Amino acid sequence: MVLRGLLVLGTFVLSLKAVSAQDYRAMEARILALSNVEIVIVGKVEKEEAVYPVYALTTAASKKNEKKQLNVLLSGGVHGDEPAGVFALLQFLEKEAPRYAKEFRFFVFPCVNPGGFATGTAENSAGKNINRSFKKDSPALEAKWVMEQLQKWDRKFVFSIDMHEIPPYWEGEGFKAKDNPHTAYLYESQRDKKMRIGPAMLAGLPKDIEVCQWPRIYGDVAVGGLVTYPEGNFNQVYAEQTTLDGYLFEKLSSHTFTAETPIDWPMEKRVRTHLSWLKTALEKKRGSAP
Ligand SMILES: [Zn+2]
Backbone angles phi and psi of 54, in degrees to 5: -100, 120
In the reported structure, the alpha carbon of residue 229 is separated from the centroid of ligand 1 by a whole-number distance in angstroms of 17
pTM reported for the whole predicted model: 0.92
CB 179 within 8 A of CB 219: no
Question: Taking the domains of the chain in order of start, what are their residue ranges?
Answer: 16-285
Query: What pLDDT does residue 20 have?
Result: 38
CATH class of the domain whose range is 16-285:
alpha beta
Which residues contact residue 180 at a Cβ distance below 8 angstroms, ignoring those fewer than 6 apart?
166, 167, 168, 169, 170, 262
Query: What pLDDT does residue 3 have?
Result: 52
Q: What ranges in the chain are assigned the alpha helix state H?
A: 2-32, 84-91, 114-119, 141-153, 198-203, 236-239, 244-251, 267-285
In the reported structure, the alpha carbon of residue 166 is separated from the centroid of ligand 1 by a whole-number distance in angstroms of 7
In the reported structure, the alpha carbon of residue 136 is separated from the centroid of ligand 1 by a whole-number distance in angstroms of 21
In the reported structure, the alpha carbon of residue 164 is separated from the centroid of ligand 1 by a whole-number distance in angstroms of 4
In the reported structure, the alpha carbon of residue 287 is separated from the centroid of ligand 1 by a whole-number distance in angstroms of 31
In the reported structure, the alpha carbon of residue 139 is separated from the centroid of ligand 1 by a whole-number distance in angstroms of 17
Residue 40 identity = V
Full pLDDT tens readout for the chain, 290 residues: 455 555 545 444 444 433 333 489 999 999 999 998 999 999 999 988 889 999 999 999 988 877 789 999 999 999 999 999 999 999 999 999 999 999 999 999 999 999 999 999 999 999 999 999 999 999 999 999 999 999 999 999 999 999 999 999 999 999 999 999 999 999 999 999 999 999 999 999 999 999 999 999 999 999 999 999 999 999 999 999 999 999 999 999 999 999 999 999 999 999 999 999 999 999 999 988 77
